[in-house]
Amino acid sequence: MEIVKTLDAIWAARWPLVQGLGDTMLISAVAIVLGTMLGLIVGLLLSYGNRPVRLVVRLYSDFLRGTPVFVLILASFYVLSVLGIQLSAFQAGVFALTLFCSSHIGEIVLGALKAIPKGQTEAAKSVGLTFFGTFFSVLLPQALRMILPTWVTTATEIVKASALLSVIGVVELLLAVQQVISRTYLSLELYFFAGFVFFLINFMIEKAGRFVERKVSLPT
């Protein structure tokens, strides 16, 4: 009977839950895409920037990786508003998750670029390739194969971290579920439902990542 009651509650609140799920997926997707793009720049600057640039970017990366994502979310929403930068809860959440993602992706890119033999860069220069030509034609394809598994892990972490945005009022999946719980008092059942949905999202990300990894891997 409890299962039937839970399913009835989920069905009755299906549209708010679908909206919450949509916001969770949208926030996660935007943060992952923007964080990956910014992280690529961070990794490049850490690898090829001059000493002052590397120092600044290193401080940026270490600070963000050492700060709990919960604190980043609160700071993005409350501290920025005190400084005169007005962001909606949705924008502040995406901003915080993007910064968090970029710091981790930057370290992943740095490690991948360091793993590529320097001889390949020198060979590319010897045939007249520019820095960007060398990077996009020689280094990036190899780096992508190495960073993909860790990138998938980072992407799943961002999806899970999106649940923290409920503290600033973003009605993502978790807050939508909590609103249903406040009316039905089915806390255990509905939290289990939310956890299962998050599991499904991350499971699909991991499966997609493994599929792409098989496609881009070199034949042995």
Helices 2-12 and 173-184 sit at what angle, rounded to 10 degrees? 120
**Residue 211's pLDDT is what?**
85
Rounded CA separation 195/129 (Å): 49
For residue 210, what pLDDT is reported?
86
The C-alpha atoms of residue 60 and residue 45 are separated, in whole angstroms, by 11
Task: Specify the DSSP element, H or E, that contains 75.
Answer: none
pLDDT at 125: 77
**Token pair belonging to 41:** 């720049």
| Closest by CA position to 76, among listed 11, 211, 168 | 168
CA distance 196 to 173: 11
pLDDT tens figures, 30-72: 999 999 999 999 999 999 889 999 999 999 999 999 999 999 9
Look up the pTM and report it. Answer: 0.91
- The gap from C-alpha 177 to its chain's centroid, in whole angstroms, comes to 22
pLDDT of residue 160: 95
Q: Report CA dihedral (163, 106, 84, 77) to the nearest 10 degrees.
A: 10
Task: Identify the segments of the chain with pLDDT beneath 50.
Answer: none
pLDDT of residue 1: 64
Whole-number Å distance between alpha carbons of 42 and 16: 38
CA pair distance 61, 58, nearest whole angstrom: 5
Q: What is the pLDDT of residue 155?
A: 95
- The confidence score (pLDDT) of residue 51 equals 92
First and final C-alpha spacing in the chain: 54
- Rounded to 5 degrees, what are φ and ψ at 172? -85, -165
Tell me how far apart the 2 most distant CA atoms of the chain are, in Å.
Answer: 73
Torsion of Cα atoms, 57 then 60 then 63 then 64, to 10° = -120
Q: Cβ(93)–Cβ(170) under 8 Å?
A: yes
Segments in the chain forming alpha helices (H): 2-12, 14-48, 51-66, 69-74, 80-82, 89-115, 118-126, 131-134, 140-161, 173-184, 187-216
